[in-house]
Amino acid sequence: MSGNSYIGAIDQGTTGTRFMVFDHDGTVVTDAYETHEQFYPEPGWVEHDPLEIWENTKSVVRAALDDADLSAEQLAAIGVTNQRETTLLWDRDTGKPVHNAIVWQDRRTTDRVEQLESEGKVEEIRAKTGLEADAYFSATKAEWLLDNADPIKTQRARPADMKERAAEGELLFGTIDSWLIYNLTGNHVTDVTNASRTMLFDIHEMEWDDDLLREFDVPAACLPEVRPSSDEDYYGTTDPDGFLGAEIPVAGALGDQQAALFGQTCFDAGNAKNTYGTGSFFLMNTGNEAVDSDHGLLTTVGFQRSGEPVQYALEGSIFVTGAAIEWLEDMTLIEDAAESEALARSVDSTDGVYVVPAFTGLGAPHWDQRARGTIVGMTRGTRREHVVRATLESIAYQTRDVAEAMVADSGIEMESLRVDGGAVKNNFLCQLQADIIGTEIARPEVDETTALGSAYAAGLAVGYWDDPDELRDNWRVDREFEPDMNRAEADRMYDRWSDAVERATDWARDGGDS
């Protein structure tokens, strides 16, 4: 079914939206990208404008197709991948959001999570969802929106109660995948991976959980239908009278990190990948078994194909990695991300400096919502080169934090780690990563594996590819990095990192954010 046809992938991320078109070999044919605005209404709050995201989505789809002189009719299907946990509510009839989307990085519901902890509800939440109780996930964001978003005027010209309208199905809850699919097809659906990140979904029963819905006072009527990640029945088709001017199946969706797992063809238990984006997300496929973590990891849904059992994964979510490089730019320590590699190489070490980029708290395996960014070990001789190198090293150390937890939980020693995302273009970082965790690092030719994974999911659903073996044949290595550092030296550096992390923890207690 290939020939002159292709698969399109909408990759809606934290900082921007990309549309990519792939051929049967998994090669990029064309792509386009646009950033969107980040809103910070208060310290620790992060929001996006859903309408801007939708307008940018239409823009990049048109731009990519025009650039390659392709028509929409040449797309056999479209897949969607998205920044996970980012949450919004919109009006079913008008399609208008009632408030900006609350981004996964947002910490405004930290007090609510601490209330759950004090009430002893954390274990129940973890048992059902595989997640730590944290402001990172969608449940407390949805609760906040229902309690605090501006009321919508009804035809009766009175302020409507948000929860009342949600209970009647007039307001719809969703993560960004649902928002895009709704605008593409008119249908209110999500896939199993995104549902599993809401803290409202039982990953063992594979359904919305009534107890959790009651806890967070989220009406069932506002929730999307949960479908496989690769859906032979399709989520719907694009409107032939809409912006594409064609009826194209929308048939695949995965949260961005599960999409990268799929795009890296980690289809078997024990396969692992790490994506270096705004944050870093380390996932290991555990097969049809949902492995409980005793070491601060998340148990999550990896993916599901139509008519097949769910594949689960262990995940280590690191909140800030690529965003730490952006911080270096914001602080004018570097002019652009590419400069970080040369500056890091210009010194032999950090001269004892450690950067803990806990700008939005610490994720796995620490789960400290009140940790904050910290620089330790500076002297009068500290220069920007040392701080830049220490920031890159922090990415490698955080990955080792998760890698050690992953091995402890799974009992599987990793011989190779597949990596992707913007930061892996940095050869210094890739080599450092191999040295610090003592494992081979494999970088694929196509490093935009989130888009590739959603394209694979959609393509399998419509028969563009026959089976996963075809996709495995597409996976091609660009470069491999072997550990080169003395093991004792790597351990010494990592031990000192642990000391630095201890100094960053619990900093924002008692009004420390104000």
Binding-site members for glycerol are 84-85, 136, 256-257
* Surface-to-core class of residue 359, CB atoms within 10 Å of its CB (0-12 exposed, 13-18 middle, 19+ buried): middle
Cα separation of 108 and 103, whole Å? 10
Contact 236, 181 (CB under 8 A): yes
Cα separation of 140 and 134, whole Å? 8
Residue 226 CA neighbour count, 13 Å, CB half: 22
Which tokens is 403 given?
A: 């890698």
Query: What is the dihedral angle through the alpha carbons of 64, 82, 273, 425, rounded to the nearest 10 degrees?
Result: 40
Question: If you ran DSSP here, which 8-state letter would residue 221 be given?
Answer: G
Binding-site residues for ATP, in ranges, read 14-15, 278, 322, 422
Binding-site residues for ADP, in ranges, read 14, 18, 278, 322, 422, 426
Which tokens is 366 given?
A: 């620490």
Indicate the residue type of 28. V
DSSP 353-407: -EEE--BTBB-TTT-BTT---EEES--TT--HHHHHHHHHHHHHHHHHHHHHHHH
Place of tokens 């995104």: 194
Query: What is the dihedral angle through the alpha carbons of 192, 193, 195, 201, rounded to the nearest 10 degrees?
Result: 80
Report the interhelical angle of 256-263 vs 449-462 (nearest 10°). Answer: 70
* Alpha-carbon radius of gyration of the chain: 22
Cα separation of 299 and 297, whole Å? 7
Binding-site residues, in ranges, read 14-15, 18, 84-85, 136, 256-257, 278, 322, 422, 426
Cα separation of 337 and 341, whole Å? 8
Burial 64-89 (b: 16+ CB within 10 A, else e): bbeeeebebebbbbbbbbbbbbbbbb
Of 209, 127, 211, 218, the closest CA to residue 175 belongs to 218
Cα separation of 498 and 4, whole Å? 53
